[in-house]
Amino acid sequence: MRGAGRVEFLDPDAGLHLECDAADVAREVARLEADAAPRWVWRDTREWAPALLDAGVRVARCHDLRLCGAILASSTATAGAGSVVRDRPHWLPVGPAEAVLGAAAAPAAPVDRGPALFEVDPGPGPEQTESPSAADLVVEHDRQVALAAASDRPGAMRLLLAAESAGALIAAELHGAGLPWRRSVHERVLEEALGPRPPVGRKPARMDELAVRVRRELDAPALRLDSQADLLRALRAAGIGVDSTAKWELREHDHPAVAPLLSYKRLARLLTANGWAWLDEWVVDERFRADYVAGGTATGRWATSGGGALQLPKAVRAAVVADPGWSLVVADAAQLEPRVLAALARDPAMAAAGRGRDMYRSIVDAGVVATRDEAKVALLGAMYGATTGDSGRLVPQLARAYPRAMALVDRAARDGEAGRQVTTLLGRSSPVPPRSWHEAQAAASQPDATAVDERRARSSARDWGRFTRNFVVQGTAAEWALCWLAGVRTRLAELGAGRSRAAASGPVFERSPHLVYFLHDELIVHTPSETADAVADAVLESAAEAGRLLFGEAPVEFPLDLAVTESYASADA
DNA sequence: GACTGTCGCGCC
DNA sequence: AAAGGGCGCGACAGTC
């Protein structure tokens, strides 16, 4: 697995210590999984899970020291943990979210790079530091367990660490399984929108036709539509008073060039983001294998690197089709974040609205706002910190009806504006603002501060406040989703147990239902069709369980939109 | 030629 | 319709 030599696996709780030759790891892990159901403790799931999966071995449980160490290190919930050592060992790399935000937290941050919200300092990759010994792993695991136990809410923190670790396993498994992707369907979508695949260096026919029309309407025969700067100049020369080439601005103008230009931009986006080149690069053997990055963002949402799995446009989802004899179970949590807010704030009026299937409709029925659209915009505005436009105008109405919910997000915003951390339900904390942020605040409080200094400081304080306002809701929603996902994984393993024993020597994902996609509040299971109903039940049960794990019997429901289908495209509500 | 910053836009 | 949170990515433009 990792070259030659001895490797070590641990389950300190079970007193289990596996030491064997590298070549035997997969077999030994498989044996112990069957016999002892261990919780493996390792530095980084990314070091082990891919090769184990390649060898046909799935691990039921693990503790990922890297991800859990990152949560514990920055959590306000462990701030009062007394004598427990808070320093992580040098062999434990920072998590991906910290790699982005780490420079902000590090006292020795490099020079100020300007007013960016985040500063970048890529941490070491999984293989760049020396491997820890078994004794190192035991010491670090003990430290993390002690820190969790000494935290403000030990049960919540233990749940978060377990969910985060399960997420790391699932991320590896999603990559291993791949999303079923029908190349022929994708190609048909592209040809219908763009025309036949053009030779290298040529634009698709539909884009050429639209470009001709735009140039004619703008009276700019040599215009390159792909250059924002040239395009903006040409638009203004034609009397279209836009400040950018963004489509929401263009839509406001009633000029014959606008319609073909918007069409051109839509096609250009499809071509560059998910065109033939994407298909060639990312779809192999009818599978799209994204690189998921568990714990990849500050709020605990995942990130992906490569392939753009977080932004698969609706137009190409038709290519996600189950294998013959198999089905997709597609599920997403409806209106997850507003429901999380209601439960988190224990706001009785908002929780009442969160009891029905359509929370926005319930808000209208309660007489808070006039239309469902207004309810949606107002609620999103409350969570994101909108101050202007329709959204900003509607927020005060919401605040009168749901004072406790509003107080929760307002408090989070004030904390952020003051430079304080905020923390999710289970204990994940926001990063501290970057050094440049603190410097901007300090500059504004100097006696010789200029109006520009003060404006800049106020603006960056509010920016950070919007981030922390959203953090508690988005981060807690991510915790719900992780618990949901982990529950689904466990239940699928039970469903597939009989099948996979029958196929013990075959590929891991060949015969039993398995997760193939996850996106914030949405998941897809690929399953033999005869098991689809049982999978659907498992997905629903897991959602109910996630609600109970986070909020006990709080009176908020987390309904799913769920479909058993052959194609992702037909699952859209 | 390699790198970085910005824009624009897709997703939640 | 508007432009408030979180992302990734490709294209362009400017810089070295």
Query: Each residue of A106-117: pLDDT tens digit?
Result: 322 232 333 333
pLDDT band, residue A125 (cuts 50/70/90): very low
Query: Taking the C1' atom of C12, which residue's CA lies nearest?
Result: A227
Q: Which one, of A56, A52, A71, lies nearest residue A169 by Cα? A: A52
Give CA–CA dist A471/A482, Å, rounded: 16
pLDDT band, residue A154 (cuts 50/70/90): very high
Q: Which residues pair with A549 in a beta bridge?
A: none
A312 CA to B2 C1', in Å?
A: 30
Please give the average per-residue pLDDT across A78-107, as a whole number. Answer: 70
Query: Taking the C1' atom of C7, which residue's CA lies nearest?
Result: A303
Q: Which residues pair with A524 in a beta bridge?
A: A330, A517
Please give the average per-residue pLDDT across A222-236, as a whole number. Answer: 91
CB burial of residue A520 (10 Å; 0-12, 13-18, 19+): middle
Instruction: Say whether the CB atom of A244 is under 7 angstroms from strand B.
Output: yes
A373 CA to C9 C1', in Å?
A: 30
What lies within 8 Å, CB to CB, of A573 at 6+ separation is A561
Q: Which residues pair with A515 in a beta bridge?
A: A525
DSSP A115-178: S-SS-------TTSSPPPPHHHHHHHHHHHHHHHHTSSSHHHHHHHHHHHHHHHHHHHHHHHH-
A302 CA to C7 C1', in Å?
A: 9
Q: Say whether pLDDT at A127 is over 70.
A: no
Please give the average per-residue pLDDT across A147-175, as a whole number. Answer: 96
Please give the average per-residue pLDDT across A555-561, as a whole number. Answer: 91
What backbone phi and psi angles, to 5 degrees, belong to A298? -60, -35
pLDDT for A456-506, tens place per residue? 899 899 999 999 999 999 999 999 999 999 999 999 999 987 665 544 445
pLDDT at residue A113, as a whole number: 30
pLDDT at residue A267, as a whole number: 94
| CA within 13 Å, CB half, A380 | 12
pLDDT for A2-45, tens place per residue? 444 567 778 888 777 877 777 788 898 999 898 888 999 999 99
pLDDT for A185-202, tens place per residue? 999 999 999 999 998 888
Lowest mean pLDDT among A13-17, A115-119, A324-328, A528-532: A115-119
Protein-contacted positions of strand B (CB under 7 Å): 5-12
A114 CA to C15 C1', in Å?
A: 17
Please give the average per-residue pLDDT across A46-75, as a whole number. Answer: 93
Q: What is the mean pLDDT of chain A?
A: 88
Instruction: Determine which helix (DSSP H) or strand (DSSP E) holds A223, and give its type and residue range.
Output: none
Lowest mean pLDDT among A272-276, A331-335, A339-343, A450-454: A450-454
Share of chain A above pLDDT 70, in %: 91
Are the C-beta atoms of residues A291 and A307 closer than 8 Å to each other? yes
pLDDT at residue A435, as a whole number: 85
Query: Taking the C1' atom of B6, which residue's CA lies nearest?
Result: A228
| CA within 13 Å, CB half, A488 | 31
pLDDT at residue A505, as a whole number: 47
pLDDT for A399-454, tens place per residue? 999 999 999 999 999 999 999 999 999 999 999 998 889 988 999 999 999 888 88
Please give the average per-residue pLDDT across A251-277, as a whole number. Answer: 92
Report strand pairing: A179-180 vs A522-528. Answer: unpaired
A120 CA to C16 C1', in Å?
A: 20
pLDDT for A177-188, tens place per residue? 999 999 999 999
pLDDT at residue A99, as a whole number: 59
Q: Say whether pLDDT at A532 is over 70.
A: yes
pLDDT at residue A85, as a whole number: 84
pLDDT at residue A436, as a whole number: 85
Provide the CA A200 distance to its chain's centre, in angstroms. Answer: 34
pLDDT at residue A107, as a whole number: 29
pLDDT at residue A86, as a whole number: 84
A272 CA to C11 C1', in Å?
A: 9
Give CA–CA dist A274/A294, Å, rounded: 23
Nucleotide nearest to A468 (CA to C1'): C5
pLDDT at residue A112, as a whole number: 33
pLDDT at residue A115, as a whole number: 32
Helices in A11-95 by DSSP H: which ranges?
Answer: 25-36, 45-54, 65-74
Give CA–CA dist A494/A547, Å, rounded: 21
* Max CA distance (Å), chain A: 78
| CA within 13 Å, CB half, A324 | 0
| Within A 190-229, residues with CB less than 7 Å from strand B | 228
